[in-house]
Structure 1
Amino acid sequence: MNYYAALLPMKDEEKSKTYRPDHLAYLEEMEEQGKVFAKGRFTDGAGGLVIYQADSLEEAEVLVKADPYVEKGARNYEVHEWTMVLVGDKPQS
């Protein structure tokens, strides 16, 4: 299982407000399935970030595209594989 950072920059604030309950319900469902590691909004209103757990970039993109924010055009998205390094860990080569 790998980690994938999904950046969700704001595209349409009104749609974002409208679909927020659907987005949060979707993320809750993904959490229950063990697909979400972390999530949160940017405090400046620029959007948010979700760290997904998936077997591949393709699987992560499927998860992101199924988010109501993305489906309904409230947010754009960008997905990158992410290597987590905790403070005190030595980076892997």
Structure 2
Amino acid sequence: MKLFACLLHMKSPELSQKYRPDHLAFLEEQHKKDNVTAYGKFADGAGGLIIYRAETLEDAEALVKQDPYVEKEARTYEIHEWVMNSEQWS
């Protein structure tokens, strides 16, 4: 499995607030399915970051498009394959 970093850029603070419970439920469900490794918001309110686990970029993007924030156009997204460098911690 590969890792994909998804930046969710703030588009609508109002819609983000409205759909936050649905977004968090979606992330928790994906985490339980082992599709999400980590997630969190940016302290400056600009959006957030989600690390997805998937076979391909297309698979990861299909998950991203199911996120209520993306479906309801509260956020835009940018997704990149991410290679974690764990050797630095050895």
Q: TM-score, normalised by structure 1?
A: 0.93
Amino acid in structure 2 at the alignment position of 1:5: A
Q: Which has the higher helix share?
A: 2
Fraction of identical pairs, as percent: 58
1:40 — aligned with what? 40
The 5-angstrom pairing of residues 47-66 of structure 1 reads 47-66=47-66
1:57 Cα offset (Å) = 0.1
2:31 — aligned with what? 31
Taking the aligned partners of 2:89 and 2:57, their CA distance within structure 1 comes to: 27
Moved over 2 A (4+): 86-89
1:88 Cα offset (Å) = 3.3
Q: How large is the RMSD of aligned CA atoms in angstroms?
A: 0.8
Stretches of structure 1 lacking an aligned partner (at least 5 in a row): none
Q: TM-score, normalised by structure 2?
A: 0.96
| Corresponding residue SS for 1:15 | helix
1:3 — aligned with what? 3
Stretches of structure 2 lacking an aligned partner (at least 5 in a row): none
Q: Report the count of equivalent residues.
A: 89
